[in-house]
A = this chain, B = another copy of it.
Amino acid sequence: MKYLHDFTLVNSERQTDDFVVLTLQGGAEPLPELQPGQFAEVRVDAPGAYLRRPLSIHDVDYDKQQIKLLVQEVGTGTRALTALALGSTINMLYPLGKGYSLPDSKRVLLVGGGCGVAPLLFLGRYLKKNGITPRFLIGTRTAAGLVRLDAYRELGEVMVTTEDGSAGTKGYVIHHPVMKTETPDFDWIYTCGPEAMMRILAKYANKHGLSCQVSLENHMACGIGACLCCITPTKDGHKCTCTDGPVFDSKYLQW
């Protein structure tokens, strides 16, 4: 069941130059159950943002009926969202898509880049609740781009790479020592981030016989499988990222 609900912006916390965490308060009805990796189509009331904007569920507090979004400012819509005054109403169509599934191993690595770190917090929390300790590998350009590390650390180990070496290992995530051992000490990769990064991870997973779940960020219009705009080529032909994904097993994709 999908919902169209008004939320109230109760907190808006800038993390970095371009990342902001929004805390959205639900209304009378309790929140539906949300899966990590699922997203919401968020209505933005600004000129130049005609369609809704897909944003991952970053964190959930069922008791308080709050959902958190981690928004990277990249254009009109995201900038309008982070500029909203507290108390503003935000309409969300949610929960959408298929999220990450539980692993058949306890040895997991969650790899995020850019705004792709957003769903990994909720995923980490979910794994932890299911008795699996998540380990995070987060890649950014510089140390200044690292977002909410403390929140991730509460759940498990956090490893970092930066392109300029200003924090953690210098380079991309694939250059981190954890990826360099001959036999990786993890069996599942969960990833969200730039497609180039995810493709490299998928290849890595293939090579080492690991499972790899990737979350795609295709451009969407409806978010509910009605328009067929967001497709990705899979072993079974074109599939909708918004309903068959956004999370796919990398082997299922034509990568």
Contacts and interface: CB of A to CB of B under 8 A. Distances in A.
Q: Classify the interface of chain A: helix, strand, loop or mixed.
A: loop
Contact of A46 (B47, B50, B85): B47
Interface residues of A, number: 6
Copy count, this protein chain: 2
A49 B48 CA distance: 11
A45 interface: yes
Contacts of A47: 45-47, 49-50
A87 B85 CA distance: 12
Interface in A22-69: 45-47, 49-50
A52 to B, nearest CB: 13
Contacts of A45: 46-47
Contacts of A46: 45-47
Interface string A105-142: 00000000000000000000000000000000000000
Interface of A: 45-47, 49-50, 85
